[in-house]
Protein backbone atom coordinates (compact mmCIF):
# COMPACT_ATOMS: atom_id res chain seq x y z
CA UNK A 1 0.00 0.00 0.00
CA UNK A 2 1.46 3.39 -1.03
CA UNK A 3 1.88 6.04 1.69
CA UNK A 4 -0.75 8.74 1.70
CA UNK A 5 0.18 12.17 0.30
CA UNK A 6 0.39 15.16 2.62
CA UNK A 7 -2.78 16.62 1.05
CA UNK A 8 -4.62 13.30 1.39
CA UNK A 9 -3.58 13.11 5.01
CA UNK A 10 -4.81 16.68 5.57
CA UNK A 11 -8.19 15.82 4.04
CA UNK A 12 -8.56 12.81 6.31
CA UNK A 13 -7.48 14.77 9.40
CA UNK A 14 -9.85 17.64 8.54
CA UNK A 15 -12.73 15.18 8.27
CA UNK A 16 -11.82 13.82 11.71
CA UNK A 17 -11.45 17.33 13.16
CA UNK A 18 -14.92 18.24 11.87
CA UNK A 19 -16.21 15.29 13.89
CA UNK A 20 -14.46 16.54 17.05
CA UNK A 21 -11.42 14.24 17.10
CA UNK A 22 -8.82 15.85 19.41
CA UNK A 23 -5.96 13.79 18.00
CA UNK A 24 -6.71 15.17 14.53
CA UNK A 25 -6.21 18.71 15.88
CA UNK A 26 -2.78 17.75 17.17
CA UNK A 27 -1.81 15.94 13.99
CA UNK A 28 -2.89 18.87 11.79
CA UNK A 29 -0.98 21.30 13.99
CA UNK A 30 2.14 19.15 13.76
CA UNK A 31 1.79 18.56 10.02
CA UNK A 32 1.27 22.24 9.23
CA UNK A 33 3.55 23.67 11.96
CA UNK A 34 5.76 25.81 9.66
CA UNK A 35 2.74 27.39 7.98
CA UNK A 36 0.94 27.93 11.30
CA UNK A 37 4.09 29.53 12.73
CA UNK A 38 4.27 31.84 9.68
CA UNK A 39 0.59 32.74 10.12
CA UNK A 40 1.17 33.46 13.81
CA UNK A 41 4.15 35.68 12.98
CA UNK A 42 2.00 37.57 10.47
CA UNK A 43 -0.75 38.01 13.07
CA UNK A 44 1.83 39.23 15.62
CA UNK A 45 3.18 41.93 13.26
CA UNK A 46 0.30 44.19 14.21
CA UNK A 47 0.77 43.70 17.95
CA UNK A 48 2.76 45.88 20.32
CA UNK A 49 6.51 45.23 20.44
CA UNK A 50 6.51 44.16 24.10
CA UNK A 51 3.68 41.65 23.66
CA UNK A 52 3.84 38.81 26.17
CA UNK A 53 3.18 36.20 23.49
CA UNK A 54 5.49 35.11 20.71
CA UNK A 55 4.32 33.37 17.51
CA UNK A 56 5.08 29.93 19.01
CA UNK A 57 2.90 30.69 22.04
CA UNK A 58 0.09 31.80 19.72
CA UNK A 59 0.27 28.50 17.80
CA UNK A 60 0.21 26.64 21.14
CA UNK A 61 -2.91 28.59 22.20
CA UNK A 62 -4.47 27.75 18.83
CA UNK A 63 -3.77 24.06 19.46
CA UNK A 64 -5.50 24.27 22.85
CA UNK A 65 -8.54 25.89 21.24
CA UNK A 66 -8.66 23.25 18.51
CA UNK A 67 -8.55 20.31 20.90
CA UNK A 68 -11.36 21.86 22.93
CA UNK A 69 -13.58 22.23 19.86
CA UNK A 70 -16.45 19.78 19.95
CA UNK A 71 -16.51 19.59 16.19
CA UNK A 72 -16.74 21.82 13.20
CA UNK A 73 -19.72 21.86 10.91
CA UNK A 74 -18.86 21.21 7.32
CA UNK A 75 -20.76 24.29 6.18
CA UNK A 76 -20.52 22.95 2.66
CA UNK A 77 -16.98 24.33 2.32
CA UNK A 78 -14.60 21.66 1.01
CA UNK A 79 -12.73 23.27 -1.88
CA UNK A 80 -9.30 22.89 -0.27
CA UNK A 81 -8.97 21.42 3.21
CA UNK A 82 -5.46 22.77 3.77
CA UNK A 83 -6.48 26.33 2.90
CA UNK A 84 -9.70 25.94 4.89
CA UNK A 85 -7.72 24.84 7.95
CA UNK A 86 -5.21 27.69 7.58
CA UNK A 87 -8.04 30.21 7.17
CA UNK A 88 -9.73 28.82 10.29
CA UNK A 89 -6.40 28.96 12.14
CA UNK A 90 -5.82 32.58 11.12
CA UNK A 91 -9.32 33.55 12.28
CA UNK A 92 -8.88 31.75 15.60
CA UNK A 93 -5.46 33.35 16.15
CA UNK A 94 -6.98 36.78 15.62
CA UNK A 95 -9.70 35.99 18.19
CA UNK A 96 -7.08 34.71 20.64
CA UNK A 97 -5.05 37.91 20.32
CA UNK A 98 -8.14 40.06 20.84
CA UNK A 99 -9.12 38.03 23.89
CA UNK A 100 -5.58 38.21 25.28
CA UNK A 101 -5.49 42.01 24.84
CA UNK A 102 -8.56 42.54 27.02
CA UNK A 103 -8.04 43.52 30.64
CA UNK A 104 -8.38 40.55 32.99
CA UNK A 105 -11.70 41.73 34.42
CA UNK A 106 -13.18 41.84 30.91
CA UNK A 107 -11.95 38.40 29.83
CA UNK A 108 -14.89 36.67 31.41
CA UNK A 109 -16.79 35.05 28.61
CA UNK A 110 -20.38 36.05 28.22
CA UNK A 111 -22.15 33.19 26.59
CA UNK A 112 -25.64 33.82 25.32
CA UNK A 113 -28.14 31.17 26.25
CA UNK A 114 -28.74 29.31 23.04
CA UNK A 115 -30.43 26.02 22.50
CA UNK A 116 -27.47 23.62 22.11
CA UNK A 117 -29.15 22.00 19.14
CA UNK A 118 -29.25 25.35 17.32
CA UNK A 119 -25.74 26.62 18.17
CA UNK A 120 -24.00 24.66 15.37
CA UNK A 121 -26.66 25.86 12.94
CA UNK A 122 -25.90 29.49 13.86
CA UNK A 123 -22.15 28.99 13.36
CA UNK A 124 -22.75 27.25 10.05
CA UNK A 125 -25.05 30.10 9.01
CA UNK A 126 -22.31 32.66 9.77
CA UNK A 127 -19.79 30.67 7.75
CA UNK A 128 -22.35 30.31 5.01
CA UNK A 129 -22.87 34.09 4.92
CA UNK A 130 -19.12 34.65 4.64
CA UNK A 131 -18.90 32.03 1.91
CA UNK A 132 -21.78 33.73 0.03
CA UNK A 133 -19.97 37.08 0.19
CA UNK A 134 -16.72 35.53 -1.02
CA UNK A 135 -18.56 33.69 -3.79
CA UNK A 136 -20.16 36.95 -4.91
CA UNK A 137 -16.74 38.53 -5.01
CA UNK A 138 -15.39 35.58 -7.01
CA UNK A 139 -18.15 36.10 -9.61
CA UNK A 140 -16.72 39.54 -10.27
CA UNK A 141 -13.17 38.21 -10.39
CA UNK A 142 -11.83 35.02 -8.75
CA UNK A 143 -8.56 36.81 -7.98
CA UNK A 144 -10.46 39.27 -5.76
CA UNK A 145 -11.59 36.42 -3.54
CA UNK A 146 -8.07 35.02 -3.41
CA UNK A 147 -6.60 38.39 -2.41
CA UNK A 148 -9.19 38.82 0.36
CA UNK A 149 -8.63 35.32 1.71
CA UNK A 150 -4.85 35.72 1.72
CA UNK A 151 -4.98 39.20 3.28
CA UNK A 152 -7.74 38.68 5.85
CA UNK A 153 -7.52 35.02 6.79
CA UNK A 154 -3.83 34.35 6.28
CA UNK A 155 -2.51 37.77 7.32
CA UNK A 156 -0.26 38.15 4.30
CA UNK A 157 1.05 41.52 3.16
CA UNK A 158 0.12 42.84 -0.27
CA UNK A 159 3.74 42.25 -1.35
CA UNK A 160 3.56 38.60 -0.27
CA UNK A 161 0.25 38.15 -2.09
CA UNK A 162 1.69 39.69 -5.25
CA UNK A 163 4.70 37.40 -5.07
CA UNK A 164 2.59 34.29 -4.61
CA UNK A 165 0.11 35.21 -7.37
CA UNK A 166 2.79 36.48 -9.74
CA UNK A 167 1.26 39.97 -9.94
CA UNK A 168 2.68 43.43 -9.45
CA UNK A 169 2.15 45.21 -6.16
CA UNK A 170 0.04 47.85 -7.95
CA UNK A 171 -2.29 45.15 -9.34
CA UNK A 172 -2.73 43.60 -5.90
CA UNK A 173 -3.37 47.04 -4.36
CA UNK A 174 -6.11 47.70 -6.96
CA UNK A 175 -7.71 44.30 -6.35
CA UNK A 176 -7.59 44.78 -2.56
CA UNK A 177 -9.16 48.26 -2.82
CA UNK A 178 -11.90 47.03 -5.17
CA UNK A 179 -12.65 44.03 -2.95
CA UNK A 180 -12.82 46.20 0.21
CA UNK A 181 -15.22 48.65 -1.43
CA UNK A 182 -17.43 45.87 -2.75
CA UNK A 183 -17.55 44.11 0.63
CA UNK A 184 -18.32 47.38 2.45
CA UNK A 185 -21.18 48.01 0.04
CA UNK A 186 -22.55 44.48 0.47
CA UNK A 187 -22.32 44.65 4.26
CA UNK A 188 -24.21 47.95 4.29
Query: Does this chain's domain 1-104 share its CATH topology with 117-188?
Result: no
Class of domain 1-104: mainly alpha
Contact yes or no for 93/40 (Cβ under 8 A): yes
Greatest alpha-carbon span in the chain: 55
CB half-sphere exposure, 186, CA atoms < 13 A = 14
**pLDDT per residue as tens digits for the range 123-167:** 556 666 777 888 899 899 989 989 988 888 777 889 989 988 899
- CA angle, 77 as apex, 74 and 79 as ends, to 5°? 135
**pLDDT per residue as tens digits for the range 7-57:** 668 888 888 877 778 788 888 888 888 888 888 888 777 676 666 778 888
Going by CATH, does the domain composed of 117-188 fall within 3.40.50.1110?
no
- In angstroms, the CA 141 to CA 157 distance is 20
Which strand (E) or helix (H) includes residue 98? helix 81-101
Q: Where are the domains of the chain?
A: 1-104, 117-188
- In angstroms, the CA 57 to CA 61 distance is 6
Amino acid sequence: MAPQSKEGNIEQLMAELRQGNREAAGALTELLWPELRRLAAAQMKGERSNHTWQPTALVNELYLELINAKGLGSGGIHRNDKNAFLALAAHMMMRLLIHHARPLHRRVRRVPIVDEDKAPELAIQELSNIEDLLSGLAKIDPQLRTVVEMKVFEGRSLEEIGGQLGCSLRTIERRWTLAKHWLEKELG
